[in-house]
Chains A and B, each alone.
Chain A
Amino acid sequence: MIYDCAIVGGGPAGMNAAILLAEAGVRVVIMDRAARAGGQVYRSAADSVLPRPEALGLDYTEGVALITAFESCAATHIAAADVWHIGEDGMIFYSLNGTTRQLQAREILLCPGAIERPMPIPGWTLPGVMTAGAAQVMLKSDAVVAEKAIFAGSGPLLYLIVAQYLRLGVKVAGVIDTTPKANYLAALPGGAAALRSWPMLRKGLNLMREISNSGVPVFKAATNLSILGKTAATGLAFECNGAQEIQAETVFLHHGVIPHSNMSRSLGLEHLWNEAQQCWQVKTDSWGQSSIPHIAVAGDGAGIIGADGAQCAGRLAAFNILYRLNVFSLSERDQRAREDQSKLIGMTPFRAFIDRLYQPVEELRLPKDPETLVCRCEEQRLKDLRAGYEAGARDPNALKSLTRCGMGPCQGRQCGPIVSSLLARWRQEPEEAVGYYRLRSPQRLLSLAEFSRFQNNDETGTGAEVSG
């Protein structure tokens, strides 16, 4: 089947875009690997397994309205579709129930969302160490929680999951906040402007208050974190007014999210280094249009702007796609876009404030201990990478070829950002000069048996009809 527009990712960005495109009458298809739309923020919101989903907060339950609107729009929704390849020719291959199918679209919108920033402290790969996002996913999808866990790091999502745990009556062993004092001072000048987004700010302050009122031990401006335990986590050591140790079988780490750029990378789209957020992101114009004009990227997958921002960005991308499809005139596009544009502009000061306040510290972003694993798939340590660099592998791809770092099944999601920055430090050049891994399809492990049945006999896109 040939579509006017194919959207990958059914989070707030993708759902908003799909609704608009469908309303305008174009043939739009949206794929997501989840069984139900929602994305990270509204994961399973429409069919929650939790007895009291309200405990996760208003933001969560409000997602149901969006999901309902999306599910009743005319877009073709292919659920449980794992997109494993997108070609610049507009061909998309995806796995559905163990079979690869394909479709083609004139315009492509990628809304792949964010992933958590790796936090390579000593021991971060031991069993029992997970990310705060994983805690979220377990809670939202399966109503599973970890009792007496430690939460360490910084940023709104860390405080959110702690507060959600507390509301559900789950015991928390401690919150180790790594936000340095210097960040508060540096963020202060932007504080006044951020006050204009008072509801957002209040939400954050309330979370903090919930946590401090709960009696859970909170350690602020903690440094020198390392996981305790030899074969599995037994707790966390850190410094906060002297050396501290807390015992726990589960440690959740988190210090922010970064765009999930494997898809935009394997398409060969241009990327740039975002200094304020200390991460790579795809290069787009204000409509989300990438360096390949018929491919747009929106939402957190194009640069972290949060769930509210993702809604606006998804809509803006849709307006521009409608213009590109000759459904909207230029002035229609610009006029329809105004509301979302001004909303996004309104969010900027708050975003800048949050970015500055929770800017990740280098000591948590990059490993220091030569023994710390950087690539968990291929078990490459900092010292192995350094040795590879000294053997002449100065480029991320050369280092990957030499050490196998980044060759494992995660496709470099974990080690890629670390390797770029390590090489940047070692070469004393900016990240953009160093670059990133060259990525390829498949996006995820693909069954050889499934692939062996694949036939690209569908150049015209007529064979692989799928219905939503």
Chain B
Amino acid sequence: MNADVMIIGGGIQGCSTAYHLALQGVSAIVIEKDYIARHASGVNAGGVRLLGRDMAEIPMSKASMEMWKTLDETLKFETGFRRRTLVNVAADGADIAMLQSRQTVMQKAGYFHEHLLDQSQLREVLPHVHSSCVGGVTSELDGYALPYQATMAFRQAAMQYGARFVEGEVLSSLRHVGPVWIGRTQTTTYEAGAVINCAGAWGDKVAMRIGDYVPLSFAAPMLMITARLPHFAKPVVGAVSRQLSFKQFENGTVLIGGGAKGYVDRDQNTTRLDYSKLASAAKTAIEFFPIMASASINRMWAGIEGYMPDNLPVIGPAVNAQNAFHAFGFSAHGFQLGPIVGKVLADLVLSGKTDFDLKAFRIDRYERKVL
């Protein structure tokens, strides 16, 4: 056997899992087809967001947020995490109504981390927001981190505890032979007692090799970053119902997202941008923050991300095989969850148990709905 656990995919989920396993003395090997953090985990918007999460994700997201707070010290490598608060701007009365009804549900469930802002409070935290905006909601715990650095921090910490990483090898076959998982890449055969599928937008393919079917789709969320601007927004900014999302980094550059998606050729690792969709993100940014009219775009790019129909990830044990686990399909918000997902998977591998309810994330949640 090469290792106790074989992890497919070197994004933040794979690296975090390797770290949590290695920390407990389990030997782990990560197999990455390109290089570590080449895909979504290295090129995402870096948003570390608890605000506005689906109810099913909140417990894990809160636990992850706790970990982010001290992650640099825990890992002893820098993740670039900055706590900045996140503000979602409400553009009109309908937005406010939406926020209020969510607030009721949240408080009933015992969650108190989201705070409503009225118009003047909004103006206080975001002096440059357009005067027509009526309010908003904020979470003080939220912020951002540097995606590539954060993923590499997990990798480096994992290596210090003995985890191994191979890059440039594609897992092309996987078999469960007796107690052993045998995985093959173009050059090497690996054997391990357990396998973990952290293959991101390729997660359905690896799931198939394990024996599980899942309706994953994939797309390329797009981002653009500006040249440096004078500091004008300390919090990370989103919107309740509009495609607005940006953050200004310490160096003054502004990263603008908004969820617009480009095109993907998953087998070629390539993406193509949809410039008119990106242009409308630019338009929204200027509408809400007129100061951005003076910005210049430096780069635009997209990353390949896997999506589930309900925009919730798959996390948990395989249903059609023993000693196999999944964590993929994070549907454009998996970066924040990285720290806790690794811990959950390590717990599952070691004890078969976790502190979290994973029902909403079962891999077979769609199979059951088949007519």
A-side residues, CB < 8 A to B, are 85, 87, 93, 268, 391-395, 397-398, 401-402, 407-409, 411, 440-442, 445-449, 451-457
Residue numbers in A under 8 Å from B42 (CB-CB): 398, 401
A455 touches B226 (CB 8 A): no
Q: Are A392 and B297 in contact (CB under 8 A)?
A: no
Query: A408: nearest residue on chain B (CB-CB)?
Result: B298
Q: Bound state CA distance, A447 and B297, in angstroms? A: 6
A392's partner among B152, B278, B282, B286 (CB-CB below 8 A) is B152
Nearest CB of B to A396, in Å: 11
9 nearest CB pairs, A to B: A456-B276, A401-B148, A452-B283, A452-B282, A445-B296, A454-B279, A448-B295, A449-B293, A446-B297
**With A446-B297, A448-B286, A455-B279 as given contacts, are A402 and B35 in contact (CB-CB < 8 Å)?**
no
Bound Cα distance from A442 to B148, whole angstroms: 22
Taking A409-B227, A448-B226 as contacts, is the C-beta distance between A401 and B37 under 8 angstroms? yes
Q: Which residue of B35, B36, B270 contacts A268 across the interface (Cβ within 8 Å)?
A: B270
Residues of B271-307 at the interface with A, using a CB-CB cut-off of 8 Å, are: 272-276, 278-280, 282-283, 285-286, 292-301
20 CB-based A-B contacts, threshold 8 Å: A392-B152, A395-B35, A397-B38, A398-B35, A398-B37, A398-B42, A401-B37, A402-B148, A409-B227, A409-B298, A440-B299, A440-B301, A441-B300, A442-B298, A447-B295, A448-B256, A448-B285, A448-B294, A448-B296, A455-B276
* A454 to B298 alpha-carbon distance, docked (Å): 16
Q: Does B139 contact A (CB under 8 A)?
A: no
Q: A393-B152, A447-B296 are known; give 19 further A-B pairs, CB within 8 A.
A: A392-B36, A401-B149, A409-B296, A411-B299, A441-B273, A441-B300, A442-B299, A445-B297, A445-B298, A446-B296, A446-B297, A448-B293, A449-B286, A449-B293, A449-B294, A452-B280, A453-B283, A454-B282, A455-B279
Give A266 to B111 CA distance when docked, in angstroms: 46
Are A398 and B296 interface neighbours, CB within 8 A?
no
Judge if B156 is at the interface, Cβ distance under 8 Å: yes
Q: Does any Cβ of A come within 8 Å of B343's Cβ?
A: no
Which chain B residue lies CB-closest to A451?
Answer: B282
Contact partners of A452 in chain B: CB under 8 A: 279-280, 282-283, 285-286
Residue of B nearest to A456 (CB): B276
- Interface residues on chain B, number (Cβ under 8 Å): 39
Q: For the complex, what is the distance from the CA of A112 to the CA of B282, rounded to whole Å? A: 28
The answer to whether B279 and A451 have CB atoms under 8 Å apart is yes
Instruction: Tell me the B residues contacting A by CB distance below 8 Å.
Output: 35-38, 42-43, 147-149, 152, 155-156, 225-227, 256, 270, 272-276, 278-280, 282-283, 285-286, 292-301
Once A and B bind, how many residue pairs between them come within 8 Å at the CB atom? 94
- Whether the Cβ atoms of B275 and A440 lie closer than 8 Å is no
| In the complex, residue of chain A having the shortest beta-carbon distance to the beta carbon of B296 | A445
Q: Report how far A402 CA is from B272 CA in the complex, Å.
A: 23
CB distance from A79 to the nearest CB of B (A): 22
- Provide the residues of chain A in CB contact with B273, threshold 8 Å: 440-441
A440: which B residues are within 8 A, CB to CB?
Answer: 273, 299-301
A402 interface neighbour in B152, B283, B285, Cβ under 8 Å: B152
* A residues less than 8 Å from B292 (CB atoms): 448
Residue of A nearest to B272 (CB): A87
What B residues does A392 contact at CB under 8 A?
A: 36, 152, 155-156
For B256, what are the chain A residues with a Cβ–Cβ distance below 8 Å?
A: 448
Q: B78 CB to closest chain A CB, in angstroms?
A: 10
A318 to B198 alpha-carbon distance, docked (Å): 50
Hey, which chain B residues are within 8 Å of A445, CB to CB? 227, 296-298
**Assembled-state Cα–Cα distance A330/B173 (Å):** 48
Asked if B270 contacts A456 (CB within 8 A), the reply is no
Query: A48 CB to closest chain B CB, in angstroms?
Result: 32
Give the chain A neighbours of B298 by CB distance below 8 A: 407-409, 442, 445
Question: Chain A contacts of B274 at CB under 8 A?
Answer: 456
CA distance A395 to B292 in the complex (A): 34
In the complex, chain A residues whose CB is within 8 Å of the CB of B35: 394-395, 398
Once the chains are docked, how many angstroms separate the CA of A443 from the CA of B275? 14
Distance, CA A451 to CA B277, complexed state (A): 11
Q: Which chain A residues lie closer than 8 Å to B286 at the CB level?
A: 448-449, 452
**How many Å lie between the Cα of A456 and that of B278 in the bound state?**
10
Q: Return chain A residues, CB-CB under 8 Å to B299.
A: 407, 411, 440, 442
Q: In the assembly, what is the distance between CA of A172 and CA of B152, in Å? A: 51
Question: Contact: A402 with B155, CB < 8 Å?
Answer: no
